[in-house]
């Protein structure tokens, strides 16, 4: 059984997340390929038994290529896991809060909020019932200045390890 991990990214952290997920799935004995969602073709969809699709979130929206790929996978009848890189939500800070304000909620609570806000509505609109959903941090820069970087490998590794059995 082979897994395709596809991603759409703006600042590269969704790709970094996808590559770490692929690495962890390989450690669990899976055959895994990674691809930019813009480049996934029908032969790749036909040739893989399951999928992990991730998108960065910008202004509350999925990247178009990842969303279109999910639409194509919705009718494929194969297991699909979904993740978002929702760096803003994962910081645990409200927009406009002081830079030194402490984060609100646990990582798990922030993940659940990002999944509720960004993953669930897209999947529901496409008629896709993912086998797993999660959210991870990311990075945002504005005019070359880093606004935040909330990426952390540990939640990615934990989720990827749990996917190994789910995608069997």
Phi and psi at residue 108, to the nearest 5°:
-60, -40
> What mean pLDDT is predicted for residues 89-116?
86
* Nearest in space to 70 (alpha carbons), one of 60, 84, 58, 59: 84
Query: Among 18-22, 76-80, 130-134, 150-154, which is the least confidently predicted range?
Result: 150-154
State the number of CA atoms in the 13 A half-sphere of 95 facing the CB: 4
Q: Is the pLDDT of residue 168 over 80?
A: no
> What mean pLDDT is predicted for residues 16-41?
97
Helix 13-27 / helix 153-166 crossing angle, nearest 10 deg: 50
What confidence score (pLDDT) does residue 93 get?
82
Compute the distance between CA of residue 156 and CA of residue 161 in angstroms, rounded to an integer: 9
Taking only the tens place, the pLDDT of each residue in 112-130 is 999 999 999 999 999 999 9
Above pLDDT 90, what percent of the chain?
Answer: 70
Above pLDDT 70, what percent of the chain?
Answer: 99
- Domain positions in the chain are 2-166
Residue labelled with tokens 């910081």: 91
Taking only the tens place, the pLDDT of each residue in 42-56 is 999 999 999 999 999
DSSP secondary structure of 93-115: --TT--TTPPPPS-HHHHHHHHI
What confidence score (pLDDT) does residue 90 get?
86
Q: Is the pLDDT of residue 73 over 90?
A: yes
User: Which residues, other chains included, contact 10 with Cβ-Cβ below 8 Å and sequence gap of 6+?
Assistant: 56, 58, 63
State which CATH number among 3.40.50.360, 3.40.50.720, 3.60.20.10, 3.50.50.60 fits the domain covering 2-166.
Answer: 3.40.50.360
> What mean pLDDT is predicted for residues 86-111?
85
> What mean pLDDT is predicted for residues 78-83?
97
Read off the tokens for 93.
């800070």
For the entire predicted model, the pTM comes to 0.92
What confidence score (pLDDT) does residue 15 get?
97
Interstrand relation of 50-58 and 31-36 (parallel, antiparallel or unpaired): unpaired
Going 157 to 159 to 165 to 168, the CA torsion angle's sign is negative
């Amino acid at each position: 059984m082979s897994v395709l991990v596809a991603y759409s990214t703006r600042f590269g952290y969704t790709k970094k997340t996808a590559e770490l997920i692929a690495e962890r799935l390989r450690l669990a004995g899976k055959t895994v390929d990674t691809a930019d969602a813009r480049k996934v073709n029908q032969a790749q969809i036909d040739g893989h038994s399951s999928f992990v699709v991730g998108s960065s979130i910008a202004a509350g929206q999925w990247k178009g290529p990842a969303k279109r790929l999910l639409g194509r996978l919705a009718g494929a009848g194969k297991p699909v896991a979904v993740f978002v890189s929702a760096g803003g939500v994962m910081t645990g800070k409200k927009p406009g809060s002081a830079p030194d304000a402490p984060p609100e909620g646990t990582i798990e609570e922030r993940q659940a909020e990002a999944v509720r806000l960004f993953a669930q509505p897209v999947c529901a609109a496409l008629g896709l019932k993912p086998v797993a959903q999660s959210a991870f941090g990311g990075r945002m820069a504005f005019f070359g200045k880093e606004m935040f970087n909330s990426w952390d490998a540990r939640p990615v590794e934990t989720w990827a390890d749990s996917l190994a059995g789910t995608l069997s």
